[in-house]
Amino acid sequence: MAAGNTYEAITSVTAPGGAATQLVMSSIPATYTDLVLVINGGNSISGATWAIQLNSDTGSNYAWRMIEGSGTTATSSRSSTTGLTVASMYFTYETGVGASEVTAIANFQNYANTDKYKTVVMRENTATAPNYPGVSVSVGIWRNTAAITSITIMIPGGATNIASGTTFNLFGIKAA
């Protein structure tokens, strides 16, 4: 017997034109085992870093580790708190300019479980970026046991905007 679809669309948002430095996906139901966020698009300035914030938490409750490579160079970075304008964890790094330049996927495990910290595995591909073609993978932790009810995707510092037409798709996994 076929298992059927395990991914169910929760919300889909396309970034409008203008000066949007963040996008919030809220009212996330606690009816799934895991969440998957898929981003296709870019930034208005090359080299901008994207980050995520959970449940509007601006405290020092985030930690992350990132490995990236361009085909000729590999680097890594980490932080127990990001030190950015708003406490968050890196989602992508050096994402290039313009729409269709980044494809990023984030998996949020046990997002609705209220007795565990939340972990996130994030992968990104910027193969067509003019200034930094490459890939990265990050792991992050949000040191909070609350169920994730909102995800804010942001470009910290406010000097860069999300490119018009960038899509954000959030899926729930029915059974992981």
| pLDDT value of position 62 | 85
For the chain, give percent helix, strand, coil, nearest 5.
Answer: 0, 45, 55
List the structure tokens of 98. 């313009």
Question: How far is it, in rounded angstroms, from Cα 61 to Cα 141?
Answer: 8
| pLDDT value of position 162 | 80
| pLDDT value of position 127 | 65
**Domain architecture of the chain: domains with CATH:** 7-173 (2.60.120)
| pLDDT value of position 18 | 67
| pLDDT value of position 149 | 97
Q: Distance from CA of residue 148 to its chain's centroid?
A: 14
Within 10 angstroms of residue 105's Cβ, the number of other Cβ atoms is: 15
Q: What angle do CA 19, 126, 68 make, to 5 degrees?
A: 110
Burial of 126 (0-12, 13-18, 19+ CB in 10 A): buried
Which of 155, 151, 156, 154 has the alpha carbon at shortest distance from 170?
151
List the structure tokens of 48. 């901008």
Rounded average pLDDT per 10-residue block, the chain, 176 residues: 73 81 91 93 69 89 80 70 57 51 88 94 75 77 94 76 86 82
Question: How far is it, in rounded angstroms, from Cα 131 to Cα 128?
Answer: 9
